[in-house]
A and B are shown apart, each in its own frame.
Chain A
Amino acid sequence: MNNEPIHSLAVEGITKRFPGILACDSISLDVGEHEILAIVGENGAGKTTLMNILMGLYQPDEGKILINGREVHFRTPVDAYATGIGMVHQHFMLVPNLTVAENVLLGMREFQKFLWQDMEGVRKRIREISERYNLPVQPDAYIWQLSVGEQQRVELVKTLCLGARFLILDEPTSALTPQETDDLIALLKRMSSDLSIIFISHKLAEVTALSDRIAILRQGKVVYRGTTSGQSVSNLASLMTGHEVVLPCNECTGGSGETILEIRNLKVRSDRGFFALDGLSLSLQKGEILGLAGVSGNGQRELADALAGLRKVESGSILFRKKELANKSPRSIIEAGIGYIPEDRNEEGIVPPFNVRDNLILKDFRSKHFCKGPFFRFDETRQNAEELQKRFDIRCASLNVAAGSLSGGNIQKVILARELARKPEVLIAVYPTRGLDMGAEEFIHERLLELRSQGTAILLISEELDELLNLSDRIAVIFKGKILATMPTRETSKKKLGLLMAGISGEGAA
């Protein structure tokens, strides 16, 4: 391994074409020693492609990579690691049923000798790294036992153990809770005294809190390069999207007072058998958005599943217009007029190999509108897809491409289009903008507010306090399967919600 320090890394005129797309359009960037450069851009702006080129996963069509002023060629990630560049991918590259030390060992040739693995050496290296950077990890814990935040730390330790002195982090916070995100940002700031970091994100608050300099990509081009200080979030947002971004806000206090969905004393078991919902009660009024705040894992998934008929209700009731829905089949709940935007948009929200057109009729494929007897009316399904594509701005090469190949934002738009086209009376939206860029977030927020003004009751399950405060009429806080408090949005604050989410009942309960 070459241990020459990396004083500077620069790319010059990098261009990469994919069929029909110019992913990177002569991009030039540079990062100095001990510097944090944030690369910001919407989904599809070319951030990840650029990083894959830096790591040797792709070859650029044009342009060059310079380290300490000398041109280098990376043919595989091994070349990049040998030079000291390491990347933490957005989706963790860890084997769940191996331990931390075993995962680290996977990439380390020097600890693998013929039929013999130097586990003690790996543990020692892990302890060194975790002490040096203050990254507590247990070498012998299994990955599946760790929380998402801990897994992130393991990824960092793994990359550092491989000798990385230059870190690339691809959207490292997209799966983290707000608390874990704050911890990570503090940690990266500390680490920057020792390392150089490229931080890819589209969450501008994090970018301004962390980075020294910033580069904004839009449609494969660098549209802004400069220091971070002095830039406001809204300024950066409009540079990123190319237009003024105003996340819509819920102005009026809503709810007609007419209760449409009443959940009483609901008890539901989690996959592991304990009561994830332990006597939860909640009511939803026509034409309101009820935000459900809470740290994930407090029963949100089980609540949404139970409401959609996908999980058995042990006791309690779900009354929709005074009719019992608990333990009804998913189909009868769909037909009753309840929409559901699921948490797992890639596997649950769409059938990945099915094309966009077929996915748009997933809940209505039996209806008279799309079927004549048992046979599909292809004209109708195509027309339906074309209309929804236009209305919801679904960007895909053709309606016949597999929905699973679309970007996260476009998959979410497919789901949103399908659910909203059915004009639901109640919509359950679970983390609807998680991991999406600002443009998509803005679009989805607008649609949700529009739906609300048409009289639909929306249960918005989210961890993003800004999202909840912006959109909700009322906010309820879930903790360990129970509702701790419900209050009108204007009577609450981030601080108050944060305390409640941590399970600390404020003066209201005392």
Chain B
Amino acid sequence: MKSTYRALYIFAISLAAALAAILLGAVVLEILGKDPLAVYKVILTEPLKDLFGLTEISVRMVPLILVALGIAISFRSGILNIGAEGQIQMGVIAAAAAAIYLPPLPKIVILPLVLVAGALAGAIWASIAGWLKAKLNVSELLSTVMLNYIAAQLYGFLLRGPMIDPAELQVGSGTPQSVRLPKAAWIDRIIPGMRLHYGFVIAIVLAILVYVFLWRTKWGYALRAAGAGPKAARYGGIKVETCLIAAMALAGAFAGLAGAIEVTGLHRRAIEGISSGYGFSGIVVALFGGLHPAGIVPSAFFFGLLLIGADMTQRIMSVPANMVLVLQGAVILSIIAAKMLIADQYLFERFARMLEKRGRKAAGGKTKAGAGKAGAAKVDRRREQP
């Protein structure tokens, strides 16, 4: 009985949160002078109408899933990785460099090497923050954010200097980008004419592997224990500091891999702005997905939909695409609020009591005489007033 109430309660709160997010967005749209309903319809349905929209959503899902998986590992292990943005950029650099500067090799050799280079670069970059936390107790929030700045500057410097496409210098346009990667280092596209590539398959397979790793292996157990109860983990013989560094390295590896796949699967050269905020959206995707792979994949789909939908509203309804950031913000706020409310035992108790009385009243109405029912209802209402 109580569990039904619980489910109903969670459903009601989630519904209220979704409505609140929609309402908040609607206010902004109203101020912009657009019809909120029409805009929402475009955002939520237009991308799903054809193959192009669907494949573009999937293209966005790849980095979102990968980054979110890494975030889930780090958050579950008790260290908060805010540095995925920088780790993606390091992954792009390393993957591009490996593809460009390694001697010509067959695809089966070079592509894995390129991807591993990207993952490794992200892992090393993230481990700096992990090591600082484990050895010197430096807050990872501080170090990862600062490492983002350094990575961004390093990225910009390399694309404008050592790694710039020589053709850009000849022509004199000077666009900061690398040469095109050799074809052997490309991830193939799945459907001709669409940008969707096999990186999507990699992301889905890794989502399953992360689940197995975290919940089915002793390593995952150690990491989760270090995050859920560091004192107990230490007591149980787990080296919590090592776990922190390992978790951070894994999170960085996933972000680096996301970068490597973006460059080899989508852009095929390192360009400015390649990370396009995935490092931060990935955190939202991970939290929205309950820090669990089974939640992260659908949540990445939802945020991919929002991104593509925003593009389309810009074209169709001439609503600025930044509107989607407002919506994202509203969604995050309502999720946090909903989580607090769901955890509130007293509110739940009140809700359950309310439902119970409703139920009793309804049941009583069938058997009891009308006068008795009215009297009982009156008493109930009096006692319910806060």
Q: Do A and B come from one complex?
A: yes
In whole angstroms, what is the CA distance A342 to B235 when docked?
Answer: 9
Binds B, one of A192-200, A329-337, A440-448, A500-508: A329-337
- Kindly state whether residue A353 has any CB partner on chain B within 8 Å: yes
Q: Is A91's CB within 8 Å of the partner chain B? A: no
* Stretch of A281-289, A291-299, A343-351, A453-461 on the interface side: A343-351
**How far is it, in angstroms, between the C-alpha of A365 and the C-alpha of B386 when the chains are bound?**
50
Determine whether the beta carbon of B218 is less than 8 Å from that of A366.
yes
Bound CA span A308–B3, Å: 42
B231→A344 contact, CB < 8 A: yes
Q: Does B315 sit within 8 A of A, measured CB to CB? A: no
A19 contacts the other chain (CB 8 A): yes
Given the interface pairs A330-B237, A331-B237, A363-B236, the reply to whether A19 lies near B231 with Cβ below 8 Å is no
Indicate if the CB atoms of B228 and A354 lie closer than 8 Å.
yes
A349 contacts across to B, CB distance below 8 A? 232, 235
Interface membership of B222, Cβ < 8 A: yes
Q: Does B358 contact A (CB under 8 A)?
A: no
Minimum distance in angstroms from A459 CB to a CB of chain B: 16
Instruction: Flag if B383 contacts A353 (CB, 8 Å).
Output: no
- Contacts of B159-191 to chain A: CB distance below 8 A: none
B277 within 8 A of A: no
- Chain B residues lying within 8 Å of A18, measured Cβ to Cβ, are 2
Per the 8 Å Cβ criterion, residues 334-376 of B in contact with A are 349, 353
Q: Hey, which chain B residues are within 8 Å of A362, CB to CB?
A: 225, 232, 235-236
Q: Which B-chain residue is minimally distant from A366 (CB atoms)?
A: B218
Most buried by B among A329, A331, A352, A362: A362
User: Within the assembled complex, what's the spacing in Å between the Cα atoms of A342 and B234?
Assistant: 12
Determine if B280 is an interface residue (Cβ-Cβ < 8 Å). no
Flag if A354 contacts B225 (CB, 8 Å).
yes
Cα A375 to Cα B231 with chains together (Å): 24
Would A358 and B221 count as touching, CB distance under 8 A? Answer: yes
Q: Shortest Cβ distance from B8 into chain A, in angstroms?
A: 14
B349 surroundings in chain A (CB, below 8 A)? 58
> In the bound complex, what is the Cα–Cα distance between A350 and B228 (angstroms)?
10
CA distance A347 to B229 in the complex (A): 7
Q: What A residues does B221 contact at CB under 8 A?
A: 358, 365, 376
Q: Which residue of B lies closest to A378 (CB)?
A: B216
Given A75-B386, A310-B234, A19 and B218 contact (CB-CB distance below 8 Å):
no
Q: Say which residue of A73, A342, A348 sits within 8 Å of B383 (CB atoms).
A: A73
- Bound-complex Cα distance A365 to B233 (A): 11
Contact flag A354-B237 (CB < 8 Å), given A375-B216, A376-B218: no
Q: Is B1 an interface residue (CB 8 A)?
A: yes
**B276 on the A face (CB < 8 A):** no
Instruction: Digitize B279-292: 1 where CB-to-A-CB distance is under 8 Å, 0 elsewhere.
Output: 00000000000000
Check A350 against B232 for contact (C-beta < 8 Å): yes
Most-contacted residue by chain A among B218, B222, B229, B383 (CB, 10 A): B229
Task: Determine whether A230 belongs to the interface, using a CB cutoff of 8 Å to chain B.
Answer: no
Contact with B along A368-380 (1 / 0, CB 8 A): 0001001110000
Instruction: Tell me if A340 counts as interface (CB < 8 A to partner B).
Output: yes
| B1 surroundings in chain A (CB, below 8 A) | 19
Is A59 engaged at the interface, CB distance under 8 Å to the other chain?
A: yes
In contact, A308 and B235 (Cβ under 8 angstroms): yes
**Contact between chains at A354 and B229 (CB < 8 Å):** yes
The CA-CA distance from A500 to B71 in the complex, in Å, is: 55
Contacting A at CB under 8 A, from B106-164, are none
A374 to B212, CA, bound (A): 10
Count, chain A residues at interface, CB 8 A: 34
CB–CB A310/B235 < 8 A: yes
What residues of B have a CB within 8 angstroms of the CB of A330 in the complex? 234-237
Interface string of B216-249 (1 = CB under 8 A from A): 1111011011001101111111110000000000
Residues 22 to 55 of chain B near chain A (Cβ within 8 Å) = none
Evaluate contact between A376 and B217: CB separation under 8 angstroms: yes
**Are B383 and A340 closer than 8 Å at their CB atoms?**
no
Roughly how many angstroms separate A480 CA and B5 CA in the complex, as a whole number? 55
Residues on the B chain within 8 Å of A376, using CB: 216-218, 221
Most buried by B among A308, A329, A331, A348: A348
List the A residue with the shortest CB-CB distance to B350. A59
Please determine whether B218 and A353 come into contact, CB atoms closer than 8 angstroms.
Answer: no
The residue on B at minimum CB distance from A358 is B221
The CA of A347 and the CA of B233, in the complex, are separated in Å by 10
Measured CB to CB, the closest approach of chain B to A377, in angstroms, equals 10
* A348 adjacent to B217 (CB under 8 Å): no
**Does the CB pair A374–B217 fall under 8 Å?**
yes
**Nearest CB of B to A208, in Å:** 36
Interchain CA distance A344-B231 in the complex, whole Å: 10
Are A351 and B237 touching (Cβ within 8 A)?
Answer: no
Once the chains bind, are B216 and A352 in contact (CB under 8 Å)? no
Most buried by A among B218, B224, B386: B218
Interface positions of A from 19 to 49, Cβ below 8 Å from B: 19
Most buried by B among A58, A344, A374: A374
Contacts of A347 in B (CB 8 A): 229, 231-232
Q: Which of B88-102 contact A (CB under 8 A)?
A: none
| B237 in contact with A363 (CB, 8 Å) | yes
Contact (A351, B2) CB under 8 Å given A374-B217, A375-B217, A376-B221: no
Chain B residue contacts of A340, Cβ below 8 A:
235
Whole-angstrom distance between the alpha carbons of A340 and B234 in the complex?
13
Whether A351 pairs with B218 at a CB distance below 8 angstroms is no
When distances are taken between beta carbons in the complex, the residues of chain A under 8 Å from B225 are: 351, 354, 362
In the complex the two chains form, what is the Cα distance from A366 to B225 in whole Å? 13
Q: How far is it, in angstroms, between the C-alpha of A73 and the C-alpha of B385 when the chains are bound?
A: 12
Rounded to whole Å, the gap between the CB of B341 and the closest CB of chain A is 18
Q: Check A350/B218 contact, CB under 8 A, given A330-B235, A331-B237, A342-B235.
A: no
Q: Which of B224, B229, B238, B353 is A350 in contact with, Cβ under 8 Å?
A: B229
In angstroms, Cα B1 to Cα A374, docked, is: 40
- Are B235 and A352 within 8 A (Cβ)? no
Residues of B within 8 A of A363 (CB): 236-237
Question: What are 27 residue pairs bridging A and B, where the CB atoms are less than 8 Å apart in the complex?
Answer: A18-B2, A19-B1, A58-B349, A59-B353, A73-B383, A308-B235, A310-B234, A329-B237, A330-B234, A331-B237, A331-B239, A334-B236, A334-B237, A347-B232, A348-B232, A350-B229, A351-B225, A351-B228, A351-B229, A351-B233, A362-B225, A362-B236, A363-B236, A365-B236, A371-B218, A374-B219, A376-B221
The 9 closest A-B pairs by CB, nearest first: A331-B237, A351-B229, A19-B2, A362-B236, A374-B217, A351-B232, A353-B228, A330-B237, A334-B237
